[in-house]
Amino acid sequence: MELLSTPHSIEVNNITCDSFRISWSMENSDLERVTHYFIDLNKKENKNSNKFKHRDVPTKLVAKAVPLPMTVRGHWFLSPRTEYSVAVQTAVKQSDGEYLVSGWSETVEFCTGGEA
Q: How far apart are CA 78 and CA 21, in angstroms?
A: 13
Q: What is the predicted pLDDT for the residue at 52?
A: 46
Q: What is the predicted pLDDT for the residue at 114?
A: 82
Which homologous superfamily does the CATH classification assign to the domain defined by 8-111? Immunoglobulins (2.60.40.10)
User: What's the chain's Rg over C-alpha atoms?
Assistant: 16
Q: Poorest-confidence range of 39-48, 49-58, 78-87, 95-104?
A: 49-58
Residue 56 has pLDDT above 90, yes or no: no
Q: What is the predicted pLDDT for the residue at 57?
A: 52
Q: Which burial class, exposed, middle or buried, applies to 28 when counting CB atoms under 10 A from its CB (0-12, 13-18, 19+)?
A: exposed
Per-chain mean pLDDT for the chain: 85
Residue 60 has pLDDT above 50, yes or no: yes
Q: What percent of the chain has pLDDT over 70?
A: 84
For 1-116, where are the alpha helices, taking DSSP H only? 28-31
Average pLDDT over residues 59-86: 86
